[in-house]
Amino acid sequence: MSKDTIESRLVEKRVFKPSALFSKQARVGSAAQREKITRAAARDPERYWASEAKKLLWRKPWKKTLEWKPPFAKWFVGGALNVSENCLDRHLGGPRRNKAALIWEGEPGDSRTLTYQQLHRETCRFANALKSLGVKKGDRVAVYMPLVPEAAVAMLACARIGAVHSVVFGGFSADSLRDRIQDAKAKLVVTADGGFRKGQKFGLKQQVDDAVKDCPSVRKVVVLKRTDQPIAWHSERDVWWHEAVDGQSAVCDPVPLDAEHPLFILYTSGSTGKPKGVLHTTGGYLTVAASTVESVFDLKEPDVYWCTADVGWITGHSYVVYGPLAAGATTLMYEGAPTCPGPDRFWAIVEKYGVSVFYTAPTAIRAFIRLGDAHPNKHDLSSLRLLGTVGEPINPEAWAWYHRVIGGGRCPIVDTYWQTETGAIMISPLPGATPTKPGSATLAMPGIDAAVVDKDGKEVPHGTGGFLVVRKPWPSMLRTVYGDPARYKKQYFSEFGPKVYFTGDGARRDKDGYFWVLGRVDDVINVSGHRLSTMEVESALVGHPKVAEAAVVGMPHAVKGQGITAFVTLKGGLQPGNGTTRELVAAVEKAIGAIARPDRIRFTDALPKTRSGKIMRRLLRNVAAGEEVSGDTTTLEDFSAIAKLQADE
């Protein structure tokens, strides 16, 4: 493991002030103004959030801003609204009617632009199709799609009729899809005959066929034709998208929904058990998604805004679809890989569409650094005015490169900290107001009571590391783990009592109060900006007939942030053969998907355990990173297991 991937975050001293030019045109134009807003919001958070919520279109006003029965919150109680109406219909009465809502580019180079009016029309037609296929308010719909406009249409159509979507990232395996469909008891699946990625066609329909075999809840599968690949067809169950919408009316009244009506479920990894279905609801979620997209990305009418996330992740929900559309922005979507057909594809897209606000992940930035400056330098990136990152801490080197090479030294960078569970950005610079420091997400957003505490829940002094918590409810917080409120309580509201939300991250604040997120403190690893549970990878490995035991840990990885090392013991004297590593990698791919593929598998006769039999992953983390084994080893049953692993290196 090369040492240059280990960051020296503590010595970062650079401060970048927003330029006077940027501040002048920004919504929030000075640190003092941010401070003022933040103070007022802290004095009366309900009032602050109510004023943000009022910017949306409500069909019925709420009676009570917050009902907080820790750890369960209800926001805007008694109010009614429709998310799709807020994202579409609301913009049709004025000049935005013919504004591009969605600019899409396919990997092969095809492209489409949908105005607000057109997106509204497609959404209404698909919503009517869903209704005629038997989908009703409250039903769950799984969406397993490539990144095409229809993915957004499917989400908005569900929202329009009050169906609850569960988008499953197209890179997940059939087994992962099956588990998610089963947990949500989805009635319908929306998919495609495939998509394009890295110059190839990939399939989705076969995975759906495999998954749905074990999903009795599924009545219909809607299939979008995208690649024209041959697919199996089950005529009693499968319906082509184009046939389903054929003849459907372009009028579909948005159903006014209770503010707490579920909008979507999105599955995310936890440290134990199966993935958690994070549940978000209607009024609170949209309030914060819309409010933050405007303040953090400082959106203006002419902006072309591009968030590179897939709709299969929360970033795609809040900052590709719902936030920007609620704000009446132009949101860009690109289907494929950043390096196809050449390593300059992203920059070619920025130039082609005149992208002005660009939001991506540190892992992508690190990959671009490796590809070299020549690729961005070939393109005119002068349309860019603001850059953002999300997903993991950004190393200062990558930050500086992003600022200099992509931003031409003139674009502020917003490093946005948040999670699937928080629904929207929690800690971030406001680009016209907040001086930035490379590697820090800076300050909590107005209305967000973030703090760093010790294990007793007491706030630690600035400069000291601790646990990152949020001490007051906020409108876009998850409401529960779908079907498992006990897990919700245990996972997020037990460590520091039922009133304090625990993020699972470590952090420290510096003398200016800036937050420096240090990464996960639980058994969760962050690969390319996405959380994976070590436990799930382990159970995929142990599912292989040759494997006796497995322990999975994260290790520093130059591009992905964290890579995966698996320590594996084989059953009764078996020796790893030629193909064993390949078989085990395939087992993980099948169970979870390529995203969880171990970077390294190390076979060992024994795993380091405590006397009570717990695997000491902390020590394995040291081994995987090529570090000295540190900390207390007195509970270790037998040191020889560790000594041997280190000697093998």
Q: Interface with ligand WT7 includes 393 (CB under 6 A)?
A: yes
Residue nearest to ligand WT7 (CB): 420
Q: Which is closer to ligand WT7, CB of 524 or CB of 584? A: 524
Q: Closest separation between CB of residue 276 and ligand WT7, Å?
A: 10
Task: Count other C-beta atoms under 10 Å from residue 93's C-beta.
Answer: 8
Beta bridge partners of 467: 453, 506
Q: Give kind and range of the element (H or E) at residue 167.
A: strand 164-167
On whether the CB atoms of residues 206 and 178 are closer than 8 A, the answer is no
Which position among 167, 390, 552, 601 is part of the footprint of ligand WT7 (CB under 6 A)?
390
Alpha carbon of 579 to those of 173, 575, 582, 583, 604: distances in Å?
22, 11, 5, 6, 16
> Does 392 contact ligand WT7 by CB under 6 A?
yes
The Cα 477–Cα 315 span in angstroms is 14
416 binds ligand WT7 (CB under 6 A): yes
Q: How far is the CB of 339 from ligand WT7 (least distance, A)?
A: 21
Of 86, 123, 420, 528, the one binding ligand WT7 by CB under 6 A? 420
- Identity of the residue, 121 or 520, whose beta carbon is nearer to ligand WT7 in the bound complex: 520
Residue count (the chain): 649
Locate the DSSP E strands across 180-297: 188-192, 195-197, 200-202, 220-224, 238-240, 257-258, 262-268, 276-281
Q: Out of 391, 431, 438, 473, name the contact with ligand WT7 by CB under 6 A.
A: 391
Which one of the spans 387-395, 490-498, 601-609, 632-640 is the region binding ligand WT7 (CB under 6 A)?
387-395
Q: Does 395 bind ligand WT7 (CB under 6 A)?
A: no
In the chain, the amino acid numbered 281 is T
475 binds ligand WT7 (CB under 6 A): no
Which range touches ligand WT7 (CB under 6 A), out of 18-26, 48-56, 348-356, 411-419? Answer: 411-419
Binding window for ligand WT7 (CB under 6 A); candidates: 2-10, 55-63, 153-161, 412-420:
412-420
d(CA 252, CA 419): 33
Least distance (Å) between residue 552 CB and ligand WT7: 17
Please identify, using beta-carbon distances, which residue of 150 and 505 lies nearer to ligand WT7. 505
State yes or no: residue 495 binds ligand WT7 (CB under 6 A): no
Spatial CB neighbours of 554, under 8 Å, sequence gap ≥ 6? 525, 526, 527, 534, 562, 563, 564, 565, 621, 624
Q: What are phi and psi of 489, to 5 degrees?
A: -60, -50
Residue 547 CB, nearest approach to ligand WT7 (Å): 27
Q: Which is nearer to ligand WT7, 90 or 530 (CB)?
A: 530
Of residues 258-277, those binding ligand WT7 (CB under 6 A): 268
Amino acid (one-letter) located at 507: A
Using CB under 6 A, which of 164, 279, 314, 616 touches ligand WT7? 314
* Angle at 575 (CA atoms; ends 1, 563), nearest 5 degrees: 25
Enumerate residues 6+ apart whose C-beta is below 8 A from 281.
75, 259, 260, 261, 262, 263, 479
* Integer Cα distance of 405 and 293 in angstroms: 24
Binding residues for ligand WT7 restricted to 104-133, rule: CB under 6 A: none
* Residue 548 and residue 615 in contact, taking contact as beta carbons nearer than 8 Å: no
Site string (511-530) toward ligand WT7, x via CB under 6 A: ------x-xx-----x--xx
Please pick, from the candidates 315, 395, 436, 565, the single residue that binds ligand WT7 as defined by CB under 6 A. Answer: 315
252 vs 390, beta carbon nearer ligand WT7: 390
| 503 interacts with ligand WT7 by CB under 6 A | yes
Distance (Å, whole) CA 141 – CA 29: 42
Secondary structure of the chain: what % helix, strand, coil (to 5)? 30, 25, 45
Counting contacts by CB under 6 A, is residue 562 touching ligand WT7? Answer: no
* Residues in 429-468 at the binding interface with ligand WT7, rule: CB under 6 A: 441
Instruction: Compose the 209-248 pattern: x for residues touching ligand WT7 by CB under 6 A, - for all others.
Output: ----------------------------------------
User: What is the DSSP pairing of strand 238-240 with strand 257-258?
Assistant: unpaired
Q: Which is nearer to ligand WT7, 226 or 437 (CB)?
A: 437
Evaluate the CA torsion angle 517, 521, 522, 523 in order and state its sign: positive
Determine contact, residues 288/319, Cβ cutoff 8 Å. Answer: no
From 505, 522, 536, 538, residue interacting with ligand WT7 (rule: CB under 6 A): 505
* Interatomic CA distance for residues 35 and 477, integer angstroms: 23
Q: Token digits for 343?
A: 């390593």
CB of 496 to ligand WT7, least distance (A): 16
Specify the stretch interacting with ligand WT7 by CB under 6 A; choose among 26-34, 63-71, 85-93, 503-511: 503-511
For ligand WT7, give the closer residue by CB, 286 or 314. Answer: 314
- Judged by CB under 6 A, the chain residues 328 through 347 that form the site for ligand WT7 are none
* φ, ψ of residue 640 in degrees (nearest 5): -65, -30
- 147 vs 222, which CB is nearer to ligand WT7? 147
The verdict on 281 binding ligand WT7 (CB under 6 A) reads no
Binding mask 526-555 for ligand WT7 (x = CB under 6 A): x--xxx------------------------
Residue 512's contacts (CB-CB under 8 Å, 6 or more residues apart) are none
Max CA pair span of the chain:
73
CA distance to 385, 480, 505, per residue, from 439 (Å): 20, 31, 15
Q: Which residues, 571 to 590, sit near ligand WT7 by CB under 6 A?
A: none
Residue span binding ligand WT7 (CB under 6 A) among the ranges 68-76, 150-158, 193-201, 409-417: 409-417
Residue 608: is the preceding peptide bond cis (ω within 30°)? no
Report, in Å, the least distance between residue 447 CB and ligand WT7. 18
CB of 197 to ligand WT7, least distance (A): 20
Closer to ligand WT7 by CB, 204 or 595: give it. Answer: 595
Least Å from the CB of residue 428 to ligand WT7: 8
Question: How far is residue 52's CA from residue 113's CA, in Å, rounded to a whole number?
Answer: 30
Residue type for position 99: K
Other residues' Cβ atoms within 10 Å of the Cβ of residue 234: 9
CB of 477 to ligand WT7, least distance (A): 13
Look at residues 262, 278, 271 and name the one whose alpha carbon lies nearest to residue 180.
Answer: 278
Q: Which residues bind ligand WT7 (CB under 6 A)?
A: 268, 314-315, 390-393, 415-420, 441, 503-505, 517, 519-520, 526, 529-531
